Structure 1
Amino acid sequence: MAVGKVTFTKVEREKLAEVLLLLNWISVLTGAILFGLGLFLKVEILKWQEVMSEQGILYVPYMLITTGLAACGINYLGGKICLDCADTNKFLRWKLVMMPYVICTFFFTSCILVGALMCYSFRSQLEESLLLGLRNAMLYYKDTDTPGRCYLKRTLDLLQIQFQCCGNTGHRDWFQIQWISNRYLDMTSSAVVDRIRSNVEGRYLMDSVPFSCCSTFSPRPCIQQKLSNSSAHLNYDQRSQQLNLWRRGCRQTLLDHYTGIMQSIGLTVLLIWLFELLVLTGVRYLQTAMENVIRLGDPDSESDGWILENSLAETARSNFNIIKNLGKCYQVDDDPNINIPTAAAEQEVPSQQVPMLTKHPA
């Protein structure tokens, strides 16, 4: 029994072809939207690429870009096919192309769904990438004279100022690394030398943060140094000075920023997938209805269209049997007739005559 069987008249088939022509042209536009979303996401990721540990997260924008380009090409071809399918004679030119086109469109539509799901599963990988990337960037913050790292100080300062954040998970992360270059330290000072010697790894650690951690909402000049010593500052109370520094870590801030973008893109891609699924269903109905018209031999008669010619169970069983029997054509050991000569073969092989020994008289 066919799945989704619908009967179409000639007028209804023509109307369906016209509607699908319009929907395919709209799908070309949605493909351009997919391409634009992927390009936008790639640019957004590349803005803060330096504070991410790996480039594998770019697979999501690349997936959207590729799917968008494929959508433009496939739906443009689909519009041409649907335009010709309104006429039975023109449909004959596309008859052999229709089934491969439907299959390709099905896999393409599935790729759109995968792209939407990838947008929602992006957060966990991005979180790990930011955690490691920000940690490494902070370690190289002081290396302003090292080629390949000299830009990291500027990148981190811009990041903390623009997103109003400080450190990886918080401003105390700066207490655990040396973020001031040795070239700016006074090595003749006993206090500096003692602080370096007191550290096992020979780092100059202090309870201070870069200027970019200072909050613009601070009611007093920003306090960057000796943050753990409240007696070092006049009228300083840690509980009342929450606005002195950005308290939120940059990892969580960037994660929320990209998550918001990905959720918006994922919702848009999901809506595009539903629209493409509608177009695919219509094309399948048009294909089967026109093929049945050709079988009937009367272009003005009614014809049936369906999504699947048989039920889901029968279709799955049939495909499974096809896959199961793919290699049997190469197995000849089990052929019951392999050792039985045919009549033609017997005629082609001449029988051997055994010579008779004759005795001649003496």
Structure 2
Amino acid sequence: MALMKVKFDLKKRVKLAQGLWLMYWLTVMAGILIFSLGVFFKIELRKRSEMMDNNESHFVPNLLILAGLMACGINAFGGKICHDSLDPTKFPKWKPVLKLFLAGFVLFNVLLFITAFLCFTMRLALQSTLAEGLKNSMKLYKDTDTPGRCYMKKMLDLTQMEFRCCGNNNYRDWFEIQWISNRYLDFSSSEVRDRVMSNVEGKYLMDGVPFSCCNPSSPRPCIQQQLTNNSAHYSYDHHTEELNIWMRGCGEALLSYYGSMMNSIGALVFLVNILEVAVMVGLQYLNTALVTLANPEDPESESEGWLLEKSFKETIADFTQKVKSLGKGVQVEAGEGGQEQAVATVS
């Protein structure tokens, strides 16, 4: 017994075909939007790719671009089928490919669902990527004279100013690395020599941060150096006073930025996925309604449309049986091949 059977007359079939045609072109627009968002997100990641530990984060935007292109092609093809379904002379040429097209549509919807799921879960992958990438980038901040690294200082400064953040986890991350190049240190000064000699790795470490950590909204001039020395500044206590530098770490700021972007894109892709499923169901009804016309030569005759030709349970049983038959066929072929090889060896 067919699942969710519906009776159609000419008027209902025309309305269904016209509605599906409009929905298909709406999904084409949605595909263009998904493609554009994938390109935009890929560009945003590439802007700061040097501050990321690997390129795995580009998998999701690449998948969005692919899904967008597939949505445009598949839905434009589906729109053409719905348009030709109103013409009895054109629709018969689509009948042989409709089942294959619907099967491809199912796979495409699975791809869309996976893409939406990955958009929501990408935050976890980005968290580790950003944490390690920012940590390594901060170590290169001082290498302004080294080819291939001279841009890192500018990139980190612009990032800290744009996202109002400082360091990886917080401003204290700058205390653990030498972010001032030896070129700008006066080694004739006893203070500089003592600070370098006091460090096991021979680095010039200090409780200071780059200028890009300064908060321009602070009422007092920016304090960049000796942040933990209360006596170095008038009316200052680093334990109680809100420092005039950004307190938020750039890892958290960037993760929040990319995470909110991916959540929005994931929600959009999920909505498009629901729309695609609705269009697929509509096309299945249109296909079965046209195939089951009582009198194919009379377009005004009634017909029946359904979602599945048999019940859901029977459909699953048939599918399982086909898979088992296919498996047995492969085993038989493999067995015959082994026998032929054995005979050839004996000969």
Q: Same fold (TM over 0.5)?
A: yes
Q: CA 1:103–1:295 in structure 2 vs 1: closer, same or farther (change >3 Å)? A: farther
State the match for 2:91 in structure 1: 91
1:333 & 1:189 partners in 2: Cα distance?
Answer: 82
- Higher alpha-carbon deviation: 91-100 or 325-334: 325-334
1:176 aligns with 2:176: yes
1:277 & 1:325 partners in 2: Cα distance?
Answer: 30
1:116 aligns with 2:139: no
Aligned to 1:129, the other structure's residue is in SS state helix
State the match for 1:340 in structure 2: none
RMSD, aligned CA: 1.9
2:61 & 2:334 partners in 1: Cα distance?
Answer: 52
State the match for 2:44 in structure 1: 44
State the match for 1:185 in structure 2: 185
Unaligned segments of structure 1, at least 5 residues: 336-362
State the match for 2:250 in structure 1: 250
Give 1:5 shift: 1.2
State the match for 1:301 in structure 2: 301
1:96 & 1:333 partners in 2: Cα distance?
Answer: 32
- 1:184 corresponds to which letter in structure 2? Y
Unaligned segments of structure 2, at least 5 residues: 337-347
State the match for 1:23 in structure 2: 23
Give 1:316 shift: 1.3
- 2:49 corresponds to which letter in structure 1? Q
Give 1:327 shift: 4.0
Percent pairwise identity: 49
Give 1:98 shift: 0.7
2:272 & 2:327 partners in 1: Cα distance?
Answer: 40
Check the 8 A contact 1:165/1:246 in 2, yes or no. Answer: yes
Q: CA 1:92–1:296 in structure 2 vs 1: closer, same or farther (change >3 Å)? A: closer
- 1:259 corresponds to which letter in structure 2? G
Check the 8 A contact 1:3/1:311 in 2, yes or no. Answer: yes
Q: Deviations over 1:56-108 (max 9, x none)?
A: 11111111111111111111111111111123332211110111111111211
1:43 & 1:226 partners in 2: Cα distance?
Answer: 38
- 1:312 corresponds to which letter in structure 2? F
Choose 1 or 2 for highest CA Rg. 1
1:333 & 1:132 partners in 2: Cα distance?
Answer: 50
- Higher alpha-carbon deviation: 286-295 or 6-15: 286-295
Check the 8 A contact 2:295/2:301 in 1, yes or no. Answer: no
Give 1:246 shift: 0.6
Give 1:195 shift: 1.6
Greater share of helix residues, 1 or 2?
Answer: 2
State the match for 1:347 in structure 2: none
Show the 5 A alignment for 1:206-355. 206-239=206-239, 241-293=241-293, 299-329=299-329, 331=332
Q: CA 1:126–1:274 in structure 2 vs 1: closer, same or farther (change >3 Å)? A: same
Show the 5 A alignment for 1:1-12. 1-12=1-12
2:88 & 2:117 partners in 1: Cα distance?
Answer: 40
1:116 & 1:329 partners in 2: Cα distance?
Answer: 37
- Higher alpha-carbon deviation: 142-151 or 83-92: 83-92
Q: CA 1:213–1:94 in structure 2 vs 1: closer, same or farther (change >3 Å)? A: same
Q: CA 1:109–1:152 in structure 2 vs 1: closer, same or farther (change >3 Å)? A: same
Give 1:190 shift: 2.2
Q: CA 1:272–1:332 in structure 2 vs 1: closer, same or farther (change >3 Å)? A: closer
Check the 8 A contact 1:88/1:290 in 2, yes or no. Answer: no
- 2:228 corresponds to which letter in structure 1? S
Alignment length, in residue pairs? 335
Give 1:192 shift: 1.5
Check the 8 A contact 2:6/2:304 in 1, yes or no. Answer: yes
1:140 aligns with 2:140: yes
1:217 & 1:12 partners in 2: Cα distance?
Answer: 64
State the match for 1:35 in structure 2: 35
- 2:247 corresponds to which letter in structure 1? R
Q: Deviations over 1:38-66 (max 9, x none)?
A: 11111221222221111111111111111
Give 1:204 shift: 1.0
Q: CA 1:193–1:284 in structure 2 vs 1: closer, same or farther (change >3 Å)? A: same
- Higher alpha-carbon deviation: 238-247 or 110-119: 238-247
1:295 & 1:229 partners in 2: Cα distance?
Answer: 93
Aligned to 1:88, the other structure's residue is in SS state coil
Q: CA 1:332–1:141 in structure 2 vs 1: closer, same or farther (change >3 Å)? A: closer
2:202 & 2:85 partners in 1: Cα distance?
Answer: 78
1:192 & 1:131 partners in 2: Cα distance?
Answer: 30
Aligned to 2:90, the other structure's residue is in SS state helix
- 2:151 corresponds to which letter in structure 1? Y
2:62 & 2:176 partners in 1: Cα distance?
Answer: 37
1:102 aligns with 2:99: no
State the match for 2:79 in structure 1: 79
Aligned to 2:235, the other structure's residue is in SS state coil
2:147 & 2:333 partners in 1: Cα distance?
Answer: 67
Aligned to 2:255, the other structure's residue is in SS state helix
